[in-house]
Amino acid sequence: MKNSLLLIGSLVCGVAIAEAGLKLFVPELNYLSPTRVMKSPAWPPNLSLKQYPDSKYMRGLGPVARFQTNSFGIRGREIDALAHLRIVTIGGSTTQSGYVDQEKTWVALLEKKLSKDRKIWIGNLGRDGYSMADHIHQTQFVLTSVPDINLVLLMAGLNDFIFALANVENPGRNQVTLPEAILFPKVWEQSRIYRLIATVARKDLDVMDQYGANIQRLRLKRQKSKKIHELPPLTDRISLYRRHIRELIDGVRSRDATLICITHPVLWKTGLSTEDEAVLWLGANDNIFEVENISYYTSSSLRGGMDHYNKATAAECQANGIEVFDASAKLSGVSDYFYDDAHLTERGSGALADLLFREMDKRRL
């Protein structure tokens, strides 16, 4: 009996020491990963994290990227009760800007520019891997949960295009406001030992680690692959995309808010330099996380496909009386603006914020 108690005590002490060691010396799994927070249109409230983008993998970014949400789970500061214009941005990871510091995202820079002579609040509801179907749920959430939103800025289309190329169905994952897995996690899921074993066991490759190393691994996978020059038929997927845009427009109007759409800029273009080709990792013909031997579309064909989605965005919005800002025409293909296929560097974030500010200032928004 005494030996058994000693053994149990030793095991408990060993686990406690291992837990402490992992917390001190092993970086935490990234909470910004889409596999960590998938069901909710917003982030957990009052989240505060840091990313450390390594210049070996991520060009044009600072060494530290703070990520903070307010009490609504929206990236940004608390809502200013005196703000006469309240704006929320909806989009995927290129809106989320997870590797860009809190104050240097295009959303934060736009807020600062618009706030020079009046009180403006802008919240960032970009979410990694979300498509237009997901953005419908996000818009419903923010317009019903956050008081007095006047304007929604939507930059989308990239993820819908990527899912279409890979023939991945994405009907919309965000059916609840706050997932139980985050608010009421299982006790053992708080253990760093458990999370480390689970990660190794499933050979986890979340897109966003804290440093950008996983993106580099995905770049190498693309570089070694066969290239495809002709895109698959996209007509049906673009029709579905346009139907989702109409549904989102109806939802915004039902809440007496205004919607502005932004065409999605990308690095892809014909004649991309060798250096720029080396930072690409998107555009596969299958699921890059589940299938090892897959092919990728050329940067020239990807640009053509993205142009089709941007034209669909513009056409559907204009047909419904919605303003469109053409960011793609101004930013796409500029090396300094992107650290990969479509995610903006700090300079690119500034360029997008400048463009949006000029367009909004002209219209006195």
Domain regions of the chain by residue span = 1-29, 31-362
In degrees and rounded to multiples of 5, residue 177 shows phi and psi of -75, -45
Q: Which residue has the higher pLDDT, 346 or 13?
A: 346
Give CA–CA dist 16/193, Å, rounded.
Answer: 10
Q: Which residue has the higher pLDDT, 41 or 359?
A: 359
How do residues 194-251 score in pLDDT, each as one tens digit? 555 554 444 444 567 889 999 999 999 999 999 999 999 999 999 999 999 999 999 9
**Confidence class for position 365, pLDDT limits 50, 70, 90:** confident
What average pLDDT score do residues 17-39 get? 54
How do residues 150-184 score in pLDDT, each as one tens digit? 999 999 999 999 999 999 876 555 443 333 333 33
Rounded to two decimals, what is the model's pTM? 0.84
pLDDT above 60: residue 287:
yes
> What is the chain's mean pLDDT, rounded?
87
Query: In sequence order, what are the residues at sequence separation of 6 or more whose Cβ sits closer than 8 angstroms to the Cβ of residue 201?
Result: none
Least confident of 25-34, 81-90, 230-239, 349-358: 25-34
**In this predicted structure, what is the pLDDT of residue 20?**
67
Angle at 49 between CA 113 and CA 215, to 5 degrees: 90
Angle at 340 between CA 336 and CA 341, to 5 degrees: 105
Specify the CATH superfamily of domain 31-362.
SGNH hydrolase (3.40.50.1110)
pLDDT above 70: residue 339:
yes
Give CA–CA dist 24/212, Å, rounded.
Answer: 21
Provide the percentage of residues in the chain whose pLDDT is more than 90: 71
Ramachandran sector of residue 157 (left: φ over 0; alpha: ψ -120 to 50; beta: rest): left
